[in-house]
């Protein structure tokens, strides 16, 4: 029996030097263990219209070089769609920009992180309230994850549960209701993806007083963070 596909809402493209490795949607599909016919990609940044929710097992929102605070037309239309989908109980997973867009859609506050850029393999701490969460319960109290962002969810949506945080970002993950999750970190990133992003941002990092070489040397695999994608797929299909 054919299972309902997942919708991947593409909100941006990888940095130029990383595009030879495919799109964000491709990275997510592969990391989530989905076959080609198990995912439908809609590129909202390129102007493609979001479909009806009917017939999808769930939706994943990618990262982007855009900023949620820019309130771009395609972004605000996507936020409206996500708000309706969340209230309808559709399984949702927002990653990085998608995490911030989902929070914005549900009434949270997004803005530049006062601690500046967070980049590289970082330590994320699971919060006590995550111990019964379908995606986070099986994770250790501390686990490594790949991150690259300037903006953050500064105030989660009303009623949201913060599932993970660290010293840099007080909301690295949240759940709203029973079916909508946001992740500031990138579960789809391999160590190679992370190093590629660090090298692509070496000039900006240098201007901020950071060393791309030092950050790249600290990159490691993050299999526990990656598990979240497959756990989301299993949860959504139940």
Query: Residues 104, 168, 172, 186: which is the catalytic one?
Result: 186
End-to-end CA distance of the chain: 15
186 is catalytic: yes
Say which of 99, 188, 193, 235 is annotated catalytic: 188
d(CA 25, CA 5): 14
Burial class (CB in 10 A: 0-12, 13-18, 19+), 157: buried
Q: Which of 96, 99, 149, 235 is catalytic?
A: 96
Task: Examine the residue annotation and report whether 96 is marked as an active-site residue of this protein.
Answer: yes
Sign of CA dihedral 173, 175, 176, 181: positive
Give yes or no: 199 in active site: no
Instruction: Indicate which residues carry an active-site annotation.
Output: 96, 186, 188
């Amino acid at each position: 029996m054919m299972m309902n596909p997942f919708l991947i809402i593409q909100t941006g493209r990888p940095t130029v030097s990383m595009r030879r490795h495919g799109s964000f949607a491709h990275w997510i599909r592969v990391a989530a263990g989905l076959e080609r016919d198990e995912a439908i990609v809609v590129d909202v940044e390129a102007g493609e219209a979001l479909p009806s929710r009917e017939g999808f097992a769930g939706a994943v929102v990618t990262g982007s070089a855009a900023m949620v605070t820019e309130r771009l037309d395609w972004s605000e239309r996507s936020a409206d769609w996500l708000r309706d989908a969340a209230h309808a109980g559709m399984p949702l997973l927002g990653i990085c920009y998608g995490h911030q867009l989902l929070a914005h859609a549900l009434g949270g506050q997004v803005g530049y992180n006062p601690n500046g850029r967070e980049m590289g393999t970082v330590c994320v701490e699971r919060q006590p309230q995550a111990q019964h969460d379908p995606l986070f319960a099986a994770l250790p109290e501390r686990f490594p994850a790949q991150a690259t962002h300037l903006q953050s969810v500064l105030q989660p949506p009303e009623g949201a549960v913060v599932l993970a945080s660290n010293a840099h970002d007080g909301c690295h993950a949240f759940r709203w209701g029973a079916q909508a999750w946001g992740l500031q970190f990138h579960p789809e990133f391999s160590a190679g993806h992370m190093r590629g992003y660090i090298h692509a941002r070496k000039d900006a990092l240098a201007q901020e007083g950071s060393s791309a070489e030092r950050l790249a040397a600290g990159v490691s695999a993050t299999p526990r963070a990656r598990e979240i994608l497959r756990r989301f797929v299993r949860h959504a299909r139940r």
